[in-house]
Structure 1
Amino acid sequence: MTGMDRNDGAWKYSDILYVRHPEPSRPRMSREKRAAQFAPFAALTGYEEAVRETARETEAAPSLDEDRREELDRILHRILAQPDRKVTIVRFQPDEWKEGGAYAENRGRLRRLDPQNRTLELEDGTVIPLEDVVEIRPGTDGSNY
């Protein structure tokens, strides 16, 4: 035989061995787009988000003594006696995912105190649990007007 005997296996493909590769009917996709198709299947999906969450810092929850709680109660009752008075309420918001949390300020007019649910409600509808309140200041800019 002529270099293609049955034992070397090339004779099976002799009819297509030198045929040109067909060109696709649509334009070829760039390498970046082809790589992006497989991005959702990366072995470490979510790793970067987990690292960011771990690195995110929270503050420790405050511990208010009985004297400070009584002082806040007195301030609150003085403000409730003047319904049109604006206030700034500083509260500690516990973090959903980690120990600790962050301080936040809410400003506006105090609508009501709900003693049964132990909450404050501002005119804009914001509801604040009393146990989260760490400071109450008359006025929205800290002033006593």
Structure 2
Amino acid sequence: MNYDDIIHMKHPTSPHHPRMSMNNRAAQFAPFAALKTHVDKISEAGRLTTQKRVLDEDQRQILNRVLNNLLSHKKEHPFITIDYFVEDEYKEGGSYVTVRAQFKDIDEINKQVILRDKTTISIENIYHISVYKNQD
């Protein structure tokens, strides 16, 4: 659309009604702001979270073996898939995320897996790791 015919026209003003102040104009829309907050709260309450799974002793040993194996092959940067827990910012619990990337190293001080894309994942939140020989 081309508005050249009206773009430079004077703003219409009613001869019978005074112009409304900006505060009064804003007040007309204030009730809708309350509805948005209400809808946001309903959406948040309906959003599901999951509790963090606790690894048993056997699962911890398997995870430790996989991590040690990754350390011994870190120069090869193997492709891995990691399932890990991400805590929810607003509610109790969280969700599990799966990431597929190349392994870089393990930060033993901060107990984190470091991926080649510089992503870090806390070892305590890892549920499962799969290692791939090549990039299928």
Shorter-chain TM-score bucket reads 0.7 to 0.9
Q: Alpha carbon RMSD of aligned pairs, Å?
A: 2.6
TM score, norm. by length of structure 1: 0.68
TM score, norm. by length of structure 2: 0.72
For residues 23-62 of structure 1, the aligned pairs below 5 Å read 23=16, 38-42=28-32, 44-45=34-35, 46-62=37-53
Q: Which runs of 5+ in 1 are unaligned?
A: 1-20, 27-33
Of structures 1 and 2, the larger Rg is shown by 1
Provide the C-alpha distance between the structure 1 equivalents of 2:125 and 2:28, rounded to a whole number of angstroms.
46
> Identity of counterpart residues, as a percentage?
31
- Work out which of the residue numbers 64, 67, 71 in structure 2 matches 1:76: 67
The amino acid of 2:29's aligned partner reads A
Does residue 105 (structure 1) correspond to residue 98 (structure 2)? The answer is yes
For residues 124-143 of structure 1, the aligned pairs below 5 Å read 124-139=117-132
Q: Which runs of 5+ in 2 are unaligned?
A: 1-13
Provide the C-alpha distance between the structure 2 equivalents of 1:126 and 1:38, rounded to a whole number of angstroms.
47
Provide the C-alpha distance between the structure 1 equivalents of 2:112 and 2:62, rounded to a whole number of angstroms.
17
